[in-house]
Amino acid sequence: TTEPYTRPQLCRWPCECPRSPPRCAPGVSLVTDGCGCCKACARQRGQSCTEADTCDFHRGLYCDYSGDRPRYEIGVCAQIVGVGCVLNGVRYKNGETFQPNCKYNCTCINGAVGCVPMCTNSRPPLVWCPNPKLIKMAGKCCEQWVCDDSRKIRKTSPRHISSAAYEGEDEAWQKNCIVHTSPWSPCSKTCGLGISTRISNDNDQCRLLKESRLCNMRPCEVDITQHIKPGKKCLAVYRANEPMNYTISGCVSKSPYRPKYCGVCTDNRCCTPYKSKTIEVRFQCPDGTEFSWKIMWINACFCNLNCRNPNDIFADLAHYYDYSEIAN
């Protein structure tokens, strides 16, 4: 006589899960396990699966136990046989990924076609260009934004910016997380110390967090128009002769700095930073305590037509800063 087979218990309750979920490879779904307890990386096509280790249903996979007769305990992740797709007279299998043209990457999912655009640089360069146009470039699949400078007001872009700065920002993969950091918002004050904010998920938890930094576009107590050269209407960058210390609520920076500021114009243009970075400044208070603050460090400014009120919440509906040199 054969002894009866005892099926192992793969699920145990109450659930005991690790404090943090596992990090899955790019493209692998993080799903709840078959026990309904913990987050786990879904098993992929050809990998073994059980009632606890589930297959990636986002990819149309299921656990095929047919090869483990009569126990039906350990299976293999297999593709669900679904309906194919027909697009422009071409038939595609269920689950097949294809590119009908250079602009789209598509997948056939049970009779339906889902596509992701490959051309993501769809925002016009409003910072420096008053009349942007989207045109087809020779040798390139995606249309490119160019500046229609028919009015010949001024140069289409600052001479300091390389053309690579206008090619948009690519999404970055970091541990199964699409990293996205928004551009810094305009400084809350047009002169004096203000606040600039942004949203970023560039952290270990891939959580969207709000970041802040101090900013000072120009000093309020200095009449910059007196520094404009004769015959000129603008001064793009102003810099004081002597270094100074930042001051916050009576606390003074431990080191002196000689920052650059954006200048002013006597016509309808305004000067805004197009190249900046963020520095860390250490402050010391009268009671001996210390703290650090992030501060915007202006490298260069550009006088342009896109003047906006920094406190206008509706102005953020338009895409202004879309280039890496401005966002860093």
Of the residues 149, 169, 203, the one at which a domain ends = 149
**Are residue 65 and residue 134 in the same domain, yes or no?**
no
Contact 84, 113 (CB under 8 A): no
Confidence tier at 321 by pLDDT (50, 70, 90): very low
pTM above 0.85, yes or no: no
Residue 72 lies in a domain: yes
> Cα 121–130–234 angle (5° rounding)?
120
**Are residue 141 and residue 112 in the same domain, yes or no?**
no
Which structural domain, as residue segments, surrounds residue 225?
Answer: 192-304
Closest CA to 88 of 117, 69, 113, 105: 113
**Are residue 203 and residue 259 in the same domain, yes or no?**
yes
**Are residue 224 and residue 292 in the same domain, yes or no?**
yes
**Are residue 248 and residue 292 in the same domain, yes or no?**
yes
**Are residue 295 and residue 208 in the same domain, yes or no?**
yes
Instruction: Please give the pLDDT value at position 275.
Output: 86
Question: Is the model's pLDDT at 216 over the cut of 80?
Answer: yes
Residue 321 lies in a domain: no
Could you give the maximum distance between any two Cα atoms of the chain, in Å? 108
Residue 172 lies in a domain: no
Confidence tier at 261 by pLDDT (50, 70, 90): very high
| Domain count across the chain | 4
Of 158 and 228, the one with more pLDDT: 228
Closest CA to 113 of 135, 142, 92, 143: 92
Question: Mean pLDDT, to the nearest integer, of 40-50?
Answer: 92
Instruction: Please give the pLDDT value at position 326.
Output: 36
**Are residue 240 and residue 268 in the same domain, yes or no?**
yes
**Are residue 144 and residue 202 in the same domain, yes or no?**
no
Of 314 and 280, the one with more pLDDT: 280
Residue 253 lies in a domain: yes
Of 293 and 208, the one with more pLDDT: 293
**Are residue 102 and residue 139 in the same domain, yes or no?**
no
Residue 326 lies in a domain: no
**Are residue 221 and residue 141 in the same domain, yes or no?**
no
Question: Mean pLDDT, to the nearest integer, of 62-90?
Answer: 84
Confidence tier at 43 by pLDDT (50, 70, 90): very high
Report CA Rg, the chain: 29
**Are residue 203 and residue 225 in the same domain, yes or no?**
yes
Instruction: Please give the pLDDT value at position 206.
Output: 81
Residue 179 lies in a domain: no
Q: Which residues contact 312 (CB under 8 A, 6 or more apart)?
A: none
Is residue 280 within a helix (H) or strand (E), and if so which, with residue range?
A: strand 270-284
Residue 68 lies in a domain: yes
Q: What is the CATH number of the domain that holds 270?
A: 2.10.90
Reported as a single tens digit per residue, the pLDDT across 109-156 is 777 787 777 776 656 655 556 667 777 778 888 887 777 655 444 444
Rounded Cα–Cα distance for residues 156 and 165 (Å): 14
Residue 129 lies in a domain: yes
Instruction: Please give the pLDDT value at position 147.
Output: 72
User: Which pair of structure tokens corresponds to residue 234?
Assistant: 């603008």
DSSP string, 22-75: PPPPTT--EEE-TTSSSEEEPB-TTSEE-SSS-B-GGGTEEEE-TTSTTT--SE
How high does pLDDT run on average in the chain?
Answer: 78
**Are residue 285 and residue 257 in the same domain, yes or no?**
yes
Question: Mean pLDDT, to the nearest integer, of 322-326?
Answer: 37
Question: Is the model's pLDDT at 20 over the cut of 70?
Answer: yes
Q: Which residues contact 154 (CB under 8 A, 6 or more apart)?
A: none
Question: Is the model's pLDDT at 163 over the cut of 70?
Answer: no
User: Which pair of structure tokens corresponds to residue 264?
Assistant: 């002013």
